[in-house]
Amino acid sequence: MSYVLIIGAKSDIAKEVARTYAKNGYNLYLAARESSSLEDLKQDIEVRSGVHVELKEFDITAYETHESFYKELQEKPLGVIVVSGYMVEQKLAQKDFNESLQTINVNYTGAVSILNIVANDFESERRGFIVGVSSVAGDRGRKANYIYGSSKAAFTAYLGGLRNRLYESGVSVLTVKPGFVNTKMTENLDLPEKLTAEPEDVANDIYNAQQKGRNVLYTKSIWLLVMLIIKHIPEFMFKKMSI
């Protein structure tokens, strides 16, 4: 059975995405920094689903390693899912350029680096799927979160272009825009219940949307409406609001 490569496999969303693909019969490459900490998850998935799981050491900001990383995969994956993400408080990123840079590098530059390589391979093979987990935060610059948001906006635009380029070769590209998700990262925030998704639901949504070859997925779907409204508030008003 084919492999799916998950980049940034340590997050709560990645964990559920991995379980979901395994449940549906895919073998997995789980790529992350200090991948040995994923031993538990590997074991979990192997007991749960009886598929083959391999842990791969991978640093999304070590661009020079990406080519050889991909080349050394024994069997090329059928699909690649980029879940990596970096978010710090806006205030911190404003003050400390290194934090801004890290945000941009993880969320955008690094993703571009690895996906360029993947895309060239998939295009020549005329098969495969790419899933990029972006964010609703990329839909509009907001004062509360625009450094993270702008890195995701760039990633969203990249995925859009990639989708158009790969269309002819039959390779699908799905852009995922989660809203609030109940994860380690958001554990101590008081999120509105109706807008907050569980990681397992996000994973299921991703799997279903990818299998159907969809282009863009908002999860929960209510975010499509929320962002539609937010995007259409005129700038002269928006700048006075504290969204």
Please state the closest distance from residue 47 (CB atom) to another protein, in A. Answer: 4
Nearer to another protein, 37 or 94 (CB): 37
Nearer to another protein, 55 or 159 (CB): 55
How many other β-carbons are positioned within 10 Å of the β-carbon of residue 72?
8
Q: What is the DSSP letter of 182?
A: -
Q: Residue 221, class by beta-carbon neighbours within 10 Å (0-12 exposed, 13-18 middle, 19+ buried)?
A: exposed
212 binds another protein (CB under 8 A): no
Contact 144, 90 (CB under 8 A): yes
71 binds another protein (CB under 8 A): no
Which of 180, 200, 79 is CA-nearest to residue 136?
A: 180
CA distance 59 to 198: 27
Among 73, 88, 112, 191, contact with another protein (rule: CB under 8 A): 191
Is 26 in a helix, a strand, or coil? coil
Among 68, 193, 240, 242, contact with another protein (rule: CB under 8 A): 193
Please state the closest distance from residue 32 (CB atom) to another protein, in A. Answer: 16
Site for another protein in 29-48 (CB under 8 A): 40-41, 43-44, 47-48
Site for another protein in 108-147 (CB under 8 A): none
Contact 111, 135 (CB under 8 A): no
> Stretches 113-121, 159-167, 189-197, 227-235: which one binds another protein (CB under 8 A)?
189-197
49 binds another protein (CB under 8 A): yes
- Residue 233 corresponds to which amino acid? I
- Catalog residues that contact another protein under the rule CB under 8 A: 12, 23, 40-41, 43-44, 47-50, 184, 187, 190-191, 193, 196
